[in-house]
Structures are given as structure tokens and as C-alpha cells.
Amino acid sequence: MKELSLYEVQEVNGAGFAEYFLASIVVRLLEEAYDRIFN
């Protein structure tokens, strides 16, 4: 995994905010992918 810098930022800025921010991006990308595949 090359996301090491994201985990470093996560520790600096606070795990709660970073995890929520990254999770929201992942969910958005997954929703767009599903729309393109199934619609």
C-alpha cells in the first residue's frame, strides 16, 4: 500500500476526522461506479 502518507496525516490531524473524510470519498467513488455499471 502506498497510502502511507495518508496514515501519517491521519495520526497528526486526528484519526476520527481523517477516517471520516477518507470513508466519505470511498463511498462516493463506489456510488459513482455502481451508477456507471448498472445504469
Which of the pair, 3 or 22, is modelled with greater confidence?
A: 22
Cα–Cα distance, 22 to 14 (Å, whole number)? 12
pLDDT tens profile 7-29: 565 565 566 777 888 888 999 99
Extract the runs of DSSP E, i.e. beta strands, from 1-39: none
Tell me what pLDDT residue 22 has. 87
Among the listed residues 15, 35, 38, the one whose alpha carbon sits nearest the alpha carbon of residue 27: 35
* Confidence label for 1 from pLDDT (cuts 50, 70 and 90): very low
The overall pTM is greater than 0.75: no
C-alpha cell at 20: 471520516
Cα–Cα distance, 36 to 1 (Å, whole number)? 26
Phi, psi of 2 (to 5 degrees): -100, 20
Determine the number of helices (DSSP H) and then strands (DSSP E) in the chain.
2, 0
Domain ranges in the chain are 4-38
